[in-house]
Amino acid sequence: MNTPAHSAPIQTADLLITAEGKIHVHNLTPALAELLCELNPRDASMKMRAEIAGARPADNTVETRTEPP
């Protein structure tokens, strides 16, 4: 609990790619899903997530990360 009260929010996603090519990821954003799907097109779960991400109309008005106070 030593983090200062004004520290910035997380700016990264946790990611693990196993030797067999399976991708585990936490905080999966649409952009990351699309990227990981390109990396391993055989990962069916990631493919579905990338498709869901891609089906949503593009929008630049939604900020996707919090800013430090």
Partner 1 sequence: MICPILNSYAEPVVRSEARKTMAAARIPLTRQALAACKLCAHQCGVNRLGGERGRCRAGADARVFSAQIEVGDELELLPTFAIAWSGCDLRCAFCLTHEASWNPSIGARLKPEELSVRATRALATGVRTVMFLGGEPTVHLLAVLETVARLPDEAPLVWKTNAHASAQARALMAGLFDIWVADYKFGNPDCARRLAGIGNYETVVRENLLWASDHSDLIIRHVLLPGHVECCWEPMAHWLSTHLPDVKVSLLDSYWPTERLRLPPELHRTIARHEKERAWDIARECHLNLIECNP
Q: Which chain residues interact with partner 1 by CB under 8 A?
A: 1, 3-5, 7, 9-10, 14, 16, 18, 24-30, 33, 44-45, 48-50, 52-53, 55-57, 59, 61-69
Closest separation in Å from C-beta 23 to partner 1: 10
Buried-exposed string 37-46: b where 16+ CB fall within 10 A, e elsewhere: beeeeebeeb
Residue 48's alpha-carbon distances to 29, 44, 55, 58, 67, in angstroms, are 13, 6, 10, 17, 30
Please, which residue, 40 or 45, has the CB nearer to partner 1? Answer: 45
Please, which residue, 27 or 40, has the CB nearer to partner 1? Answer: 27
